[in-house]
Structure 1
Amino acid sequence: MEELWFASNDILIDVLCRLPTKTLLGWKCVSKEWHHLISDRSFIKHQLKRTEPISGFFFQERFQWCDNDIKSISYIPVKTEGTELQRTIFDFLPENVVLLAVSNGLICCRSCFPSPQPVIYICNPVNKEWVKLQWPAPDRRSSLGLAFDPFKDPIDESINFKVVRVHQTVTDPDDSYFSFDIYLSKTSTWRRSGEICQCNHNLYKNKAIFIGGIFYWLTDGDQILMFDIENELSWLVTIPVPLVQFDSITEMCIGESEGKLHYVLISEDGLQVWVLDDYFDFTWSLKYSIALDEMERENLEFLCNVKQRVASRLTIDMTPWMDPLAFKDGLLFIRVGATIYLLKLGMMKMEELCTLSTLGPNSMISPIVLPYSMSLVPLSQP
């Protein structure tokens, strides 16, 4: 009967797969047949072909001078007016975790330190499914990236993903390099890549961006670390504007939009968003630019003396007044003073999301911020 029902509902399937994940979650309750259909891997594979909009941002505080982790995680919706922060989304996991990376609806996280036996989790908050990875030689300071491409590795039979751990080794005060460990879900094993990348800068904001088979990490120098996971090659890409040309300390972040790497820069000259057109030739193009004075005129209810406050930051010890925390699909998640805003690329109007007082006492310095798009991808065995 189920096979006949599916065969006679091709139009229904075609209509449902065009809907966003949040809508489908509600429609699962319509009937047992709809629940079965929307949970079917073939349907999910078809539904993944549409572009899922950003549903919100995960925000987690970090201690600046302490090795312990902060356990609380906040989820900030971007399109639901009046919705309060959600803080229990990861309660389905067996322990408190630190968020590390996101890829096509799946999230990579690790045990909070201190922990007697730290492990890594790959999970989907939508269906509350997760898998646990053993983590040899756990290191709080290592950065982990998640690579999950449902178009390259179909989800019909299993979910295949890779985790990359990048670790910095300092050989002397003026010389260091990055090495890479790779976890393959197909074999459930870790192995050390033979690739290393000489770099004397530290990873900045410690977040990996995965685009088209390549990981990107922003450094605190004039370079972005790249790692091609298929060919196991790494290299450094020079940022579009040398930081030494500015009189004050700049703030930046990297993100993805339209399948390309974007570099967001805030300086006394304004807000600029660059797109990487060719990572072999280090070719960047300026996609968006607005002076701080102009931004303030369009947002007088939120901004005051922005250019002066940004220009006055002359040392790295000072807390930045404006800090771009995450960028995804044309949406910039930005802190100004003690308030979090959302700015849509190409639009001057800012939207207030929340204040730091609602996020916690350690929200000002280097928080973990991950943009999130919902996904129905299952992690359980079919």
Structure 2
Amino acid sequence: MKEIWFPSSDMLYEVLPLSTKDLLKLKCVSKGWQCLMSDRSFIQGQLKKMEPLTGFFYQGRYQWCDENYDWISFIPIERVTTDIYIDVLDFLPERIVIQDSSYGLICCRSSFPCDVPVIYVCNLLNKEWKELQWPNPSRESCITLVFDPFKNPIDAFTKFKVVIVSQDETSTEGDGCFSFNIYSSETGEWRISREICLCNHNMQKKGCICVTGILCWLTDGDEILMFDPENEISWLIMVPLPTTQFNLTPEMCIGEAEGKLHYALISEHGLQLWVLKDHFTSQWDLTFTISLELLEKENDKYLFKIAEKLARDYNSAYPWIGTLAFKNNILLMRVAADIYLYQFDTMKMRHLCSLSALAPKPFFSATVVPYTMSLVPLA
């Protein structure tokens, strides 16, 4: 078979406005296509297209046990009917717990119990991975991937950082604090940052959000922990509304859209979406709000007597509605034992799947990670 002639990857990028998913179908056409998909300059150009959100990883989590539940499901969102994918990360050498994802790269760690826990950075599409030593492994540590292909182009090699956040019960000042351990792919070494953040609150198990290089974690004390890994400074900002302002226990999560930190909130006042005006202040703008009554009216196929059910679930460990993840103006949420997508631009919900479809043993507590596919190489 005669090979296809490629004048330049830049020209092909201009004449082939294809998504990463479409490109994967062409990879097996010929050696020429395969070489193109592996060309770093072409991949860099493909990243500039800003791929839409592909879906969400969902992994159940034990609340009162040191062992990990290592069953991982992937929920795609681009299809009308949702097919759940199981064990898509089984190319890794052991069972893992997913932690974070950025521009197609996925960060995960060994599943406990294990003899020598390690951290993995991998790409699902090309099944490449790097194994990192994990200093002072702990099930409670939060592990985050810092990867920006626009700030650090991948034309030479793929540069990334991994940040581990650990919480100490006490510090010299008598308060709790967060400390940071940083891995750099350029040096291949870990380094303990001198920065600590005094905080008496615990980190919620809702993952990390990276917004223009700033890492953000939601705590259980109406505060968000912020960390700049480049300048190694940390600070706390307040959430838009403290929980004391609500009669019922609100459900919330943070996420990123258009380079801004967002805060999605469900309470007796309805569904709200706030955006942070500045990283170093606690000034928020309310960009979207809808009452429970109107939310129910717009989505009466899925919702019924919301206010009554929220009131009944007051202080429940597993509320009737749960916010799971937010990305690109899309909210992944749980209603009872089903998973839905809420799109803020249309104010409509879409049923994705039931909890029972995600694992043999359904979990209300879970780690949920948004994922966008890319061809970024690690080898």
CA 160–27 in structure 1, closer or farther in 2 if over 3 Å, else same:
same
Distance in 1 (CA, whole Å) between partners of 2:90 and 2:353 is 22
Residue 206 of structure 1: how far off its partner (Å): 4.2
Distance in 1 (CA, whole Å) between partners of 2:312 and 2:213 is 40
Residue 83 of structure 1: how far off its partner (Å): 4.2
Residue 82 of structure 1: how far off its partner (Å): 3.2
8 Å contact kept, 2:13–2:45: no
SS at match of 2:195: strand
Distance in 2 (CA, whole Å) between partners of 1:183 and 1:8 is 36
1:1-382 correspondence to structure 2 within 5 Å = 5-7=5-7, 11-16=11-16, 18-171=17-170, 175-315=175-315, 317-360=316-359, 363-380=362-379
Residue-by-residue CA offset, 1:61-81 (whole Å, 9 max, x unaligned): 011111101111000110123
8 Å contact kept, 1:340–1:352: yes
Residue-by-residue CA offset, 1:230-279 (whole Å, 9 max, x unaligned): 11000001111111010011111000000111001110100101011112
Residue 103 of structure 1: how far off its partner (Å): 1.1
Distance in 2 (CA, whole Å) between partners of 1:245 and 1:312 is 18
Residue 138 of structure 1: how far off its partner (Å): 0.3
What do you get for the CA RMSD once the two structures are aligned? Answer: 2.0
Distance in 2 (CA, whole Å) between partners of 1:230 and 1:114 is 33
Residue 288 of structure 1: how far off its partner (Å): 1.0
CA 48–141 in structure 1, closer or farther in 2 if over 3 Å, else same:
same
Distance in 2 (CA, whole Å) between partners of 1:9 and 1:103 is 24
8 Å contact kept, 1:253–1:326: yes
Residue 318 of structure 1: how far off its partner (Å): 3.3
> Which amino acid in 2 is paired with 1:333?
L
**Structure 2 stretches lacking a partner, 5+ long:** none
Residue-by-residue CA offset, 1:318-375 (whole Å, 9 max, x unaligned): 3111111000001100001111000111222210000011123654432010111001
8 Å contact kept, 1:119–1:135: yes
SS at match of 2:300: coil
Distance in 2 (CA, whole Å) between partners of 1:9 and 1:368 is 38
Distance in 2 (CA, whole Å) between partners of 1:41 and 1:134 is 27
Aligned-pair identity (%): 54
**Normalising by the residue count of structure 2, what TM-score does the alignment of the two structures yield?**
0.95
> Which amino acid in 1 is paired with 2:354?
T
Paired residues in the alignment total 377
8 Å contact kept, 1:248–1:312: no
> Which amino acid in 1 is paired with 2:140?
R
Residue 10 of structure 1: how far off its partner (Å): 5.2
Residue-by-residue CA offset, 1:44-97 (whole Å, 9 max, x unaligned): 011111111011110000111111011110001101233421113111100110
Distance in 2 (CA, whole Å) between partners of 1:360 and 1:161 is 32
